C-alpha cells in the first residue's frame, strides 16, 4: 500500500533538506573540522527537525558517503540494526526513564560506529530529568552522539543548551513554499495546476514541509484547495495578508496582521515578504513599482538582528517604512 506523501517524500540525505541549505552547509563544516557530540535542533511543527536528526544518525554509521550527510541506501536498509535510539520525550520524560537513557549513553555500541540518541519533543522532559543529562552531554564517550529536537528551546535548561551545537530550522518563505509544492507534485507525477493551492497555503500561513505535503496529499485526492488546507495547522499569522498589505501601502491592515505575530514567526514573515517583493520585481514592468520593490528588498536584507525577539521589533519598523513607501503613489 502506498505511503502518505509526508513519509514517501521524506528526504534521506542532507542534500534533500529543502530550504535548509545554510544549516546543511554549517553541519558539514562542523563534521569536517570539529565534530560536535551534542546537537539541538529547534523550530516549528513539521519543519524537519526529526528528519534531520534521522538523516544524521544514519550518516554517522555510513562509510560509503561521497558527501557527509548523504548516507547510502544500503545503510538506510540496515538502519534498524544500528545503535540508533529515537525517544519521544512526550512519552518518556521522567527522572527514572531519562536516567536509564543516560546510563545507556556511557556504553559502547556493538557492530556500528556510533550510538546516536535522538530525544524528540525535548521540551516535555522535566527539569530534574534534564539535570541527569548534564554530565553525559558534557563528557560523552567518543562513540555517543546526542541529538535533541524541540519546538520550545526556552524550556531546555540553559546549562544543557550550552553543551549543544544549536540550529534553528526556519519555515519556508513565500516562493520556497511554491517551489516545494511544485517539486513534490512533479515527484508524484501530479500535473494539475497548483495556483489555487498556492493561494490557500499562503492565506493559511502554512510554511513547514510536513504540513505542505499534508495539503498537497488532499489536493491530489480531489479535495478543493480550500478543503485541502482546512484543518492543517498553520501558524497564527496570515502571510499573504501581510504581503498584500505591504505593497498596497495599507498600514492599518499590516499592523492588524502583525499584532498576533510571535518572535518565532518573524523570520518566515521576513522571508515571505522578501519572496513577494522578488516576484513583483521580476514581473512588474512599471518602473516606479520595480524601484520600490528593489529598495524594499534592500531594507529587508540590511542589519538584520540575530535573535528572534529583536527581529520582531526590527520587522515592525522595516515593514512600516516599506508600507509608507508603497503608500506614496509616485
Model pTM greater than 0.85?
no
Comparing CA positions, the residue from 119, 55, 58 lying closest to residue 87 is 119
Q: Outline where DSSP puts E strands in 151-259.
A: 165-168
What's the pLDDT at 240?
75
| pLDDT for position 119 | 96
Give the start-end residues of each E strand in the chain: 38-42, 84-88, 115-120, 144-150, 165-168
Quick: pLDDT tens for 221-233.
999 998 888 766 5
Instruction: Give me the torsion for CA of 279, 231, 51, 315, rounded to 10°.
Output: 40
Q: Look at residue 234 in the predicted model and tell me its pLDDT.
A: 52
Rounded Cα distance, 202 and 234, in Å? 10
* Domains of the chain, earliest start first: 5-168 (3.40.50.300), 174-327 (no CATH)
Q: How far is CA 206 from CA 77, 96, 185, in A?
A: 32, 38, 17
Tell me if 173 sits within 8 A of 199, measured CB to CB: no
Can you tell me the distance from the alpha carbon of 230 to that of 232, in angstroms, rounded to the nearest whole number?
6
Q: 202-253: per-residue pLDDT in tens?
A: 877 788 899 999 999 999 999 999 888 876 655 445 677 888 899 999 999 9
Contact assessment for residue 200 and residue 296, using Cβ atoms and an 8 Å cutoff: no
**62-121 pLDDT, tens per residue?**
999 999 999 999 999 999 999 999 998 877 767 888 999 999 999 999 989 999 999 999
CA dihedral of 290, 292, 295, 301, whole degrees rounded to 10: -90
Amino acid at each position: 500500500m502506498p505511503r502518505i506523501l509526508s513519509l514517501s517524500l521524506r528526504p534521506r540525505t542532507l542534500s534533500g533538506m529543502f530550504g535548509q541549505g545554510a544549516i546543511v552547509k554549517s553541519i558539514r563544516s562542523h563534521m569536517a573540522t570539529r565534530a560536535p557530540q551534542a546537537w539541538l535542533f529547534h523550530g516549528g511543527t513539521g519543519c524537519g527537525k526529526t528528519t534531520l536528526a534521522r538523516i544524521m544518525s544514519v550518516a554517522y554509521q555510513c562509510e560509503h558517503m561521497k558527501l557527509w550527510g548523504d548516507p547510502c541506501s544500503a545503510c538506510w536498509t540496515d538502519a534498524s540494526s544500528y545503535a540508533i535510539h529515537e525517544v519521544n520525550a512526550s512519552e518518556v520524560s521522567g527522572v527514572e526513564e531519562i536516567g536509564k537513557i543516560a546510563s545507556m549513553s556511557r556504553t559502547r555500541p556493538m557492530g556500528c560506529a556510533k550510538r546516536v540518541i535522538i530525544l524528540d519533543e525535548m521540551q516535555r522532559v522535566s527539569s530534574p530529568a534534564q539535570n541527569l543529562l548534564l554530565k553525559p552531554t558534557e563528557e560523552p564517550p567518543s562513540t555517543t552522539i546526542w541529538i535533541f529536537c524541540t519546538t520550545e528551546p526556552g524550556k531546555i535548561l540553559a546549562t544543557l543548551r550550552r553543551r549543544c551545537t544549536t540550529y534553528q530550522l526556519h519555515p519556508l518563505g513565500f516562493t520556497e513554499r511554491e517551489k516545494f509544492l511544485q517539486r513534490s507534485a512533479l515527484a508524484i507525477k501530479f500535473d494539475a495546476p497548483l495556483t489555487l493551492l498556492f493561494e490557500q497555503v499562503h492565506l493559511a500561513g502554512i510554511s513547514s514541509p510536513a504540513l505542505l505535503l499534508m495539503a498537497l496529499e488532499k489536493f491530489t485526492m480531489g479535495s478543493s484547495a480550500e478543503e485541502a488546507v482546512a484543518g492543517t495547522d498553520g501558524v497564527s499569522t496570515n502571510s499573504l495578508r501581510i504581503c498584500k498589505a505591504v505593497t498596497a501601502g495599507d498600514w492599518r491592515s499590516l499592523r492588524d496582521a502583525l499584532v498576533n505575530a510571535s518572535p518565532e514567526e518573524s523570520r518566515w514573515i521576513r522571508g515571505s515578504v522578501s519572496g513577494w517583493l522578488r516576484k513583483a520585481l521580476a514581473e512588474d514592468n512599471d518602473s516606479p513599482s520595480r524601484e520600490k520593490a528593489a529598495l524594499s528588498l534592500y531594507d529587508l536584507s540590511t542589519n538584520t538582528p540575530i535573535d528572534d525577539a529583536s527581529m520582531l521589533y526590527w520587522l515592525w519598523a522595516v515593514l512600516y517604512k516599506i508600507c509608507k513607501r508603497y503608500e506614496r503613489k509616485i
